[in-house]
Amino acid sequence: MQININKKDKEKNEKDAQVSQLRQDIASGDWVLIATGRAKRPDDFAHFERVKDDKGIDQCLFEDPETSGQEKDVLIYTDNNGQWSLRVFPNKFPAVSDTAEAKAISEGPYFSMPGVGFHEIVVTRDHFKQLALMNVLEVAEVFDAFQDRYLDLMNKKNVNYIAIFHNHGKEVGASIPHPHSQIIAIPVVSPYVKMELDGAQLYHKSNHDCVYCVMTEYESETEKRVVFENDDFIAFCPFASRAAFEVWIAPKKHSPYFERITDTEKVKLAEVFSKSLNAIYTALNDPPYNFYIHTAPCDGKDYPYFHWHIEILPHTATWAGFELETGIEISTIQPEVAAKFLRKQL
Q: What is the pTM of this model?
A: 0.91
> Is residue 19 located within the same domain as residue 83?
no
**What CATH number is given to the structural domain containing 124?**
3.30.428.10
Query: 43-88 pLDDT, tens per residue?
Result: 777 766 766 767 778 889 999 888 888 889 999 999 989 999 999 9
> Is residue 341 located within the same domain as residue 214?
yes
Q: CA–CA separation, 272 vs 285, rounded Å?
A: 20
Q: Can you give the residue range of the structural domain that contains 242?
A: 14-49+191-345
pLDDT at 2: 47
- Evaluate whether residue 1 is within a structural domain: no
Query: Of 164, 186, 208, which one is at a domain's C-terminal end?
Result: 186
> Is residue 106 located within the same domain as residue 141?
yes
> Is residue 219 located within the same domain as residue 306?
yes
Distances (CA, A) of 268 to 190, 222, 261, 344: 27, 22, 11, 21
Judge contact between 63 and 57, C-beta under 8 A. Answer: yes
Q: What percent of the chain has pLDDT over 70?
A: 92
Work out how many domains the chain is built from and give that number: 2
> Is residue 330 located within the same domain as residue 198?
yes
Q: Which of 185, 162, 189 is closest to 257 using CA atoms? A: 162
> Is residue 312 located within the same domain as residue 297?
yes
pLDDT at 330: 87
- Evaluate whether residue 4 is within a structural domain: no
> Is residue 341 located within the same domain as residue 197?
yes
> Is residue 160 located within the same domain as residue 69?
yes
Element (H, E) at 313: strand 309-314
Query: 237-266 pLDDT, tens per residue?
Result: 999 999 899 999 999 999 999 999 999 999
> Is residue 204 located within the same domain as residue 289?
yes
